[in-house]
């Protein structure tokens, strides 16, 4: 038994290939004669099987460069007609054979955060050596591609109209329909500049913007995009999100809803102000939470929207309630902006929600889309 360890440098990523135990078939003892069975490949004592000795990226690797080559090494030189492994998901690229190695060089890199599976066939229809020997058992290797650049994520969301900031490339822009270039840019973004599209935004929103930061501001943009492209609007970075972004750029699938922001002020008289593309579109009296159940200060993205709902719970005095409310936009746990029938507005009356009069709630609801940031101040 012999351990084989291989270290490869591929696409700027150093990968330590997993140690494998390569079993060599013992030769005949000096006093033992052997007979080659009919139909076998054993001319002059050559091995009848080959083994996979190493792979790069290493099986189980994470954070792999999606544009790096995949290299598989075997115990014997391969036949020029040897069957090739398969990849899931597929991507444009070419396999090449050289000595004991098979190399896949992607033309279009793998999408960030995707799980790539390499299936290596065995047996009579599997990987074959130059002497006709076959891989004994099929092998499956898997690795996970690194996340893409947050700067590029912000650039794409700007180009698609989901951000209140416009982005301008400093050089030649990446062609929208050039998939290979678009995927490469996810890992190595072009340089450029961001600029606010409008000047009427409050300072609290301006202060949240951070180029390259995976923060609440960026997550709100992601949620808005996810809601429009049949993805769960949770703000999570996934391979499905990156793929949808590349597809949306290629088809110029622009956001037509603009950018919205809501500011709830608990200073008496309490109010809710909604901004759309830098302009105030609604300023309404509002009710926030009572002392026993206050509305939390901070900034939160709208995560659930309902046209109407019977809200049930228990008041601080222990009395149960079941209230029909309308135009609901949840932003923090059970806290939501919604219509609630009250005799007056502008004072703490809720159990944490931001309550509005009916007409104002109806006007606010379309602007309180998924991902819209709601800031609560005191």
Specify the pTM. 0.83
Given a cut of 80, whether residue 198 has pLDDT beyond it is yes
Other residues' Cβ atoms within 10 Å of the Cβ of residue 341: 11
Specify the CATH number of the domain 260-377.
Answer: 2.40.440.10
What is the DSSP pairing of strand 134-135 with strand 86-88?
Answer: unpaired
**Would 2-25+46-144 and 260-377 be classified into the same CATH topology?**
no
Q: List, for residues 307-331, the tens digit of each pLDDT value.
A: 999 999 999 889 999 999 999 999 9
Q: List, for residues 50-102, the tens digit of each pLDDT value.
A: 999 999 999 999 999 999 999 999 999 999 999 999 999 999 999 999 999 99
Q: Which of 78, 79, 82, 61 is nearest to 70 (CA)?
A: 61
Mean pLDDT of the chain: 89
The pLDDT of 345-372, averaged and rounded, is 98
- Asked if 285 and 271 touch (Cβ cutoff 8 Å), the reply is yes
Domain range list for the chain:
2-25+46-144, 150-251, 260-377
CATH number (2.60.40.10, 2.60.40.3710, 1.10.10.10, 3.40.50.300) of 2-25+46-144 reads: 2.60.40.3710
Lowest mean pLDDT among 7-21, 56-70, 83-97, 152-166: 7-21
Q: Tell me, what's the pLDDT at 47?
A: 56
Query: Radius of gyration of the chain from Cα atoms?
Result: 30
Q: Tell me, what's the pLDDT at 136?
A: 87
């Amino acid at each position: 038994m012999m351990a084989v360890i291989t270290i490869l440098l591929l696409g700027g990523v150093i990968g330590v290939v997993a140690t494998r135990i390569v079993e060599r078939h013992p030769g005949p003892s000096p006093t033992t004669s052997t007979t080659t069975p009919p139909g076998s490949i054993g001319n002059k004592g050559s091995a009848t099987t080959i083994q996979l000795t190493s792979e790069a990226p290493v099986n189980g690797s994470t954070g792999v460069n999606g544009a790096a080559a995949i290299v598989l090494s075997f115990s014997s030189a391969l036949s020029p007609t040897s069957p090739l492994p398969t990849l899931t998901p597929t991507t444009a690229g070419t396999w090449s054979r050289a000595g004991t190695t098979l190399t896949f060089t992607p033309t279009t890199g793998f999408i960030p955060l995707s799980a790539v599976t390499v299936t290596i066939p065995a047996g009579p229809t599997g990987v074959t050596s130059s002497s006709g020997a076959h891989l004994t058992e099929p092998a499956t290797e898997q690795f996970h591609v690194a996340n893409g650049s947050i700067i590029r994520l912000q650039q794409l969301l700007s180009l698609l109209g989901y951000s209140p900031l416009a982005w301008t490339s400093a050089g030649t822009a990446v062609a929208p329909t050039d998939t290979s270039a678009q995927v490469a840019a996810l890992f190595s973004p072009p340089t450029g500049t961001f600029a606010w599209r409008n000047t009427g935004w409050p300072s609290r929103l301006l202060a949240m913007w951070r180029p390259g930061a995976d923060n609440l501001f960026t997550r709100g943009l992601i949620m808005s995009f996810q809601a429009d492209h049949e993805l769960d609007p949770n703000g999570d970075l996934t391979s499905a999100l990156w793929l949808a972004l590349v597809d949306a750029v290629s088809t110029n699938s622009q956001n037509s809803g603009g950018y919205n922001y809501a500011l709830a002020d608990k200073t008496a008289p309490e109010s809710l102000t909604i901004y759309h593309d830098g302009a105030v579109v609604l300023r309404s009296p509002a009710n926030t939470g009572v002392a026993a159940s206050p509305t939390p200060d901070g900034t939160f993205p709208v995560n659930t929207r309902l046209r109407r709902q019977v809200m049930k719970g228990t008041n601080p005095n222990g009395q149960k309630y079941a209230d029909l409310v309308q135009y609901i936009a949840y932003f923090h746990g059970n806290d939501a902006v919604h219509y609630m029938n009250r005799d007056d507005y502008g004072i703490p009356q809720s159990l944490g929600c931001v309550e509005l009069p009916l007409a104002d709630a109806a006007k606010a609801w379309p602007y309180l889309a998924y991902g819209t940031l709601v800031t609560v101040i005191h």
